[in-house]
A and B are shown apart, each in its own frame.
Chain A
Amino acid sequence: MKWLFVAVIIAATTGSDTLLTQRMKLHGEIRDFRAGALGRALGAVTRTWQVGVAILLLAVSFFAFMALLSIADMSFAVPATAATLVVETLVARLVLGERISARRWLGTALVTCGVALIAL
């Protein structure tokens, strides 16, 4: 049961971030940081289906994490879901076409080990 929640959290977070990244790249780099322009840009993009589904998946991930904490300790939940870092990096390469340099892989691996150490 614990691992089922972990799988749901990793899948929902990764799906959410992939959709968000795709939609924001489609929008293009935000350059105007005046309150009105920024509000209009984010308001428009928030009404797209990709961002809608991304927010829904984020909520799934959030409540699954709460549910996981109700049956497992923080010292299990945090390191187990830290695997999201590696899964998201893989998906960023395979689905989003990002180029992951050796240095970025090494840094991501260090961060993942660090998160696991902090919580264990």
Chain B
Amino acid sequence: MSSPIGNLRLKTWVVTAIVVLANLAGNSCLSWGLKQRGRALGGAPLEYVAAVFTPWVALGIALLILWLLARMTLLSWADLSFVVPVTAVGYALAAVAGRFLLGEQVSPQRWAGVLLIAAGTALVGTTAIRTTAGGRP
């Protein structure tokens, strides 16, 4: 399905959601998978190679590749100065997910951080998605 120019804001939000969720899920899988190994990674390169072939780590890497490709797609039309603060909403979502999915304690200070990020993301989200001239027509 090709997207007409009028849908710029819609496709920006859809791809932004993919970027944020793929990063969050990818990092969670990596972290979970590395902890499952039971011991820290040492300096030997082979240990890293072996770690890649465990299911959670492999899934985490696949999700981070999706994150990179979705982010490249987004940057094909959106400003970097738009993408960076808006996708930082992932930090806030990670804290919220930690509270409601893992039952972690979230201090009032961290809730204040979540609110600031949400407000900042919303504010940047209302600015122009692109402020530079088009590349190839």
A: residues with CB less than 8 A from B are 17-18, 20-21, 24-34, 38, 42, 45-46, 51, 55, 58, 78, 84-85, 88-89, 91-93, 96-101, 103-104, 106-120
Main secondary structure of the interface of A (DSSP, over half): helix
- B81-A58 in contact (CB<8A): no
- B116-A92 in contact (CB<8A): no
Nearest CB of chain A from residue B130's CB, rounded to whole Å: 8
Chain B's closest residue to A120 (CB) is B109
Set of chain B residues within 8 Å of A46, measured between Cβ atoms? 72
Set of chain B residues within 8 Å of A26, measured between Cβ atoms? 135-136
Contact for B136 among A27, A85, A91, A118, CB less than 8 A: A27
Set of chain A residues within 8 Å of B121, measured between Cβ atoms? 107, 111
- A117-B76 in contact (CB<8A): no
- B123-A107 in contact (CB<8A): yes
Known: A110-B116, A111-B121, A114-B117. 14 other contacts (CB 8 A): A18-B80, A24-B75, A27-B136, A29-B77, A30-B73, A31-B4, A34-B1, A96-B79, A101-B128, A106-B123, A107-B123, A108-B81, A108-B124, A113-B120
Chain B's closest residue to A84 (CB) is B84
Distance between Cα atoms of A104 and B109 in the complex (Å): 24
Distance between Cα atoms of A24 and B69 in the complex (Å): 11
Contact for A117 among B1, B79, B110, B135, CB less than 8 A: B110
Interface residues of B in 114-137 (CB under 8 A from A): 114-128, 131-132, 134-137
Chain B's closest residue to A89 (CB) is B81
Interface residue B62 (Cβ < 8 Å from any Cβ of A): no
Range of interface residues on B (Cβ < 8 Å) = 35 or more
Set of chain A residues within 8 Å of B119, measured between Cβ atoms? 107, 110, 114
- A97-B132 in contact (CB<8A): yes
- A108-B120 in contact (CB<8A): yes
- B68-A117 in contact (CB<8A): no
Set of chain B residues within 8 Å of A111, measured between Cβ atoms? 85, 88-89, 116-117, 120-121, 124
Chain B's closest residue to A99 (CB) is B131
- B80-A17 in contact (CB<8A): yes
